[in-house]
């Protein structure tokens, strides 16, 4: 059985004091959640948020990371630096990083491997653009993105990752994929994993859906066989809407 995961990606929102206030509210409201809960504040708020959540089961993630341990890479942050802050998770290859910061499939694969080498759980993101979907290329694109990541990993390593399917056309647009559209791609991703690393790994690995997840659509998405959770942007920035997602069974 895969345990569900509801993850909030705060993107470039929240000063440190705002982040501490939001994390404190989430901490109060998340008790009794039917899923694992994770939040990903900006780098500047990681340490204070870790300290707010100490002793709880709410996990903290960074939103990006470099693949080298250290070096002359101005502006970058490494896995050992995250570990040092007790940040044990990282979102990698988000479509905004691919689109605005020129991240490639190979770079995302390399970062995924680097995170695992440092005992950080990667949430590695894939997703097609609207043009790719409309020209019938969705499965080609997703297959290429997923396989590039899997190729970099051993079977044992693959059991320690989370994949997030975030169709680019659904991010921040209010245009959510239907549960059936999302399920179709999630099932395809699971097939890719099964082909590459076997059914056991494929069955155990969590695949999150992201893109305009809100309290009023979460239940339909979560009821799909291959959807194991959500990676949430906009609705994770306010305690009430995020907590409604965390308690998706009550929606």
- Between residue 22 and residue 61, which ones bind ligand 13P under the rule CB under 6 A? none
Residue 171 lies near ligand 13P (rule: CB under 6 A): yes
Nearest by Cα to 164 from 216, 97, 220, 119: 97
Query: Per CB under 6 A, does 233 bind ligand 13P?
Result: yes
DSSP calls for 169-192: GGTTSS-PPPHHHHHHHHHHHHHH
Q: Which residues contact 120 (CB under 8 A, 6 or more apart)?
A: 65, 79, 82, 83, 87, 88, 89, 90
Binding ligand 13P (rule: CB under 6 A), the pick from 22, 81, 232, 246 is 232
**Strand 36-40, strand 59-62: pairing:** parallel
When the beta carbons of 201 and 245 are compared against ligand 13P, the nearer one is 245
9 counts as binding ligand 13P under rule CB under 6 A: yes
Is 212 near ligand 13P (CB under 6 A)?
yes
Judged by CB under 6 A, the number of residues near ligand 13P is 14
Asked if 211 touches ligand 13P (CB under 6 A), the answer is yes
Annotated catalytic residue 166: yes
Catalytic residue list contains 186: no
Taking Cα atoms as reference points, which of 114, 68, 63 lies closest to residue 92? Answer: 63
* Residues making contact with ligand 13P (CB under 6 A): 9, 94, 166, 171-172, 210-213, 231-235
């Amino acid at each position: 059985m895969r345990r569900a995961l509801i993850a909030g990606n705060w993107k470039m929102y929240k000063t440190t004091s705002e982040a501490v206030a939001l994390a404190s509210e989430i901490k109060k409201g998340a008790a009794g959640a039917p899923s694992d809960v994770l939040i990903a504040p900006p780098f500047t708020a990681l340490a204070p948020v870790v300290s707010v959540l100490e002793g709880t089961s709410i996990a903290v993630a960074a939103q990006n990371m470099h693949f080298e341990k250290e070096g002359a890479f101005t502006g970058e942050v490494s896995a050992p630096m995250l570990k040092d802050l007790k940040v044990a998770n990282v979102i990698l290859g988000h479509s905004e990083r691919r689109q605005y910061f020129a991240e490639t499939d190979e770079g995302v694969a390399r970062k995924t491997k680097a995170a695992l080498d440092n005992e950080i759980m990667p949430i590695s993101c894939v997703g097609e653009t609207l043009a790719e979907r409309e020209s019938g290329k969705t499965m080609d694109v997703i297959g290429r993105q997923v396989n590039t990541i899997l190729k970099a990993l051993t079977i044992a390593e693959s059991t320690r990752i989370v994949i997030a399917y975030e169709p680019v056309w659904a991010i921040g647009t209010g245009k959510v994929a239907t549960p059936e559209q999302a399920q179709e791609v999630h099932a395809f991703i699971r097939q890719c994993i099964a082909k590459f690393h076997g059914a056991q790994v494929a069955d155990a690995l969590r695949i999150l859906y992201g893109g305009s997840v809100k309290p009023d659509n979460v239940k339909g998405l979560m009821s799909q066989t291959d959807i194991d959770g959500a990676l949430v942007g906009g609705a994770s920035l306010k305690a009430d809407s995020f907590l409604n997602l965390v308690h998706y069974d009550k929606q």
